[in-house]
Amino acid sequence: MFTGIIEGLGTISAIRPSGAGSRMMLASDFSLDSTRIGDSIAVNGACLTAVTVAGRRFGVDLSPESLATTTFNEAKPGDRVNLERALRLSDRLDGHLVSGHVDAVGAIQARETLANAILITIAAPALITRYLIRKGSVAVDGVSLTGNACDQKCFQVSIIPLTAKQTTVGFKAVGARVNIETDLIGKYVERFTAPSAGDAAEDRDSATGGIDMQLLAKTGFL
């Protein structure tokens, strides 16, 4: 689990085939002294496992699924990436809950400056824009951001100077593709309230088999 507060940047140093996937080597701009093999590191918002660690350098394996559902299928040595190590239970949650499981890839449609902020419009599949709301949270290349506006085709976020300076979102141009993860809570709410096959005996009295106002009242929550 992550927060979307980027620890620092890193650079892809090498990518080579590894079975049906790839092995990607990276160099971090910050110390990895407490990082061990097996630890989770979010790279541009995708949760990956460190399989090698040596000083500030580490390696991760990219599965066929990761290559198919993220921007890593077009990554190359020299690319700068956002890095965040996994959240500890004792840490402050300054961003929002980010699983590191990328929902879809979007593309930057527009960039404009408004006072001290950069407004970025990102085109995204309708499959995930359904989970976006105005003033809701979204992770773009692993960065926790707040949506200014959204519709079925795109959404807009505002980047403050500090975020622009400390993450890759600040220098990505129009046309650049980005990893997107929508709010985790919204997806669970939809799953719990959606009609089900009714395979659970205790849900058979409910018309949908999910959570609705009638069920909440029946079980004493209302």
Specify whether 146 is located in the same domain as 182.
yes
Q: Is 219 inside a domain boundary?
A: no
**What is the number of domains present in the chain?**
2
Q: Is 139 inside a domain boundary?
A: yes
Q: Is 1 inside a domain boundary?
A: no
Give CA–CA dist 47/120, Å, rounded.
24
CA 18 to each of CA 61, 76, 81, 198: distance values in angstroms, whole numbers, following the listed order = 8, 15, 21, 43
Specify whether 114 is located in the same domain as 67.
no
Q: If you average pLDDT over residues 165-175, what whole number do you get?
A: 96
pLDDT on residue 204: 44
CA 74 to each of CA 67, 71, 206: distance values in angstroms, whole numbers, following the listed order = 9, 6, 47
Specify whether 118 is located in the same domain as 181.
yes
- CATH no. for residue 168? 2.40.30.20
Specify whether 123 is located in the same domain as 176.
yes
Neighbouring-strand partners of residue 111? 120
Which domain, by its residues, includes 81?
Answer: 8-85
Task: Give this prediction's pTM.
Answer: 0.85
Q: Give the whole-number percent of the chain exceeding pLDDT 70.
A: 89
Give CA–CA dist 199/203, Å, rounded.
8
Instruction: Give per-residue pLDDT as tens, 8-29.
Output: 999 999 999 998 899 999 999 9
Instruction: Give per-residue pLDDT as tens, 187-212.
Output: 888 888 876 655 444 444 444 456 66
Give CA–CA dist 200/180, Å, rounded.
33
Specify whether 112 is located in the same domain as 176.
yes
